Amino acid sequence: LPAPPALLPYVPRVPPTALPGKLTATTFALERPCCVFDRHANASDAVWLAVAFANASAAFRNPPSQADVPLYEQLPTTHSYMTLETTASAYACSALGRALLRVGGDTACRGQGNQDPCNGPLPSPGPYRVKFLVMGCHGPKAETRWSEPILLPRASSLSTIDPTPARHSSDVVIIASILASLGAVLAAAVLGAVGAEVWGSLHRRDSGTGTFAHRSYRTHHIPPALPHPLPPGCRCSPPGLGCFAPRPPGLCPAK
């Protein structure tokens, strides 16, 4: 019996950093394994990626030869397939290449009836598990551990999307958006004007109070008017009736 493949400590994983398109409804990105297979692979060996549903990964069996590689089209029934066939030298320490691998990125695989290994879109959110497998001319030589479960975002059903929406519906949405924007601008202007008026009123009131509080006032004493002395010749006038034109002394009435 052939020797079992060497189990490598490497665990495939999705990049932990935020990347655009890291997880989509049909694809996901993997970190590119570098310097992982150098001691176990020759330049003529191939490195495959095994993809399986998470609950079927334990039942996955490595193919004894390349002719027995499970294909992408068999995924709905066998729950696993192999893809991304790459020469082992592409993952060597000295190799230059992309830092990420895209699983499920080949849209030409779907519905073509192609029996060749393919990297087609994933049919469901999963979850999936993946591992790298080194294949030589006599079968598997080394393999990594299975990844942690990889869950894809759930895609919206295409049956709920209306490809030809009504024209007036779009116009109504646009008009409603414009009216809402104008209403918000008008409300902001009214609130700004009212706030400015209230602030100005309070400022004027505070200003008047402060001026009154800091102003110094003095009271002036106005002395009462003194009676003017009567001119000569008016002593015969009754008191309090004022002063009449002076008369000659001989014209005053006798008492």
| CATH code, 59 | 2.60.40.10
Return the CA Rg of the chain. Answer: 51
pLDDT digits (tens, 9 = 90+) for 110-166: 665 556 789 999 999 999 999 999 999 889 999 999 999 999 998 665 443 333 333
Domain of 17 in residue numbering reads as 6-109+117-153
Mean pLDDT highest for which of 46-50, 74-78, 115-119?
46-50
- The total domain count for the chain is 1
Q: Is the pTM of this model over 0.75?
A: no
Predicted pLDDT at 62: 95
| Position 36 in a domain | yes
Rounded CA gap, 242 and 143, in Å? Answer: 137
Is residue 41 classed as helix, strand or coil in its secondary structure?
coil
Q: Report d(CA 120, CA 112) in Å as an integer.
A: 11
Match 């073509």 to its residue by tokens: 112
User: At residue 195, does pLDDT exceed 90?
Assistant: no
pLDDT tens profile 99-110: 899 999 998 886
Q: Are 88 and 47 in contact (CB under 8 A)?
A: yes
- Rounded Cα distance between 77 and 92, Å, is 35
Q: Which residue has the higher pLDDT, 195 or 174?
A: 195
53 falls within a domain: yes
Question: If pLDDT is split at 50, 70 and 90, which confidence band does 93 have?
Answer: confident
Q: What is the pLDDT of residues 158-179, one digit of tens each?
A: 443 333 333 444 454 455 555 5
| CA pair distance 210, 56, nearest whole angstrom | 84
What stretches of the chain show up as alpha helix (H) in DSSP? 75-78, 167-214
Is 179 part of a structural domain of the chain?
Answer: no
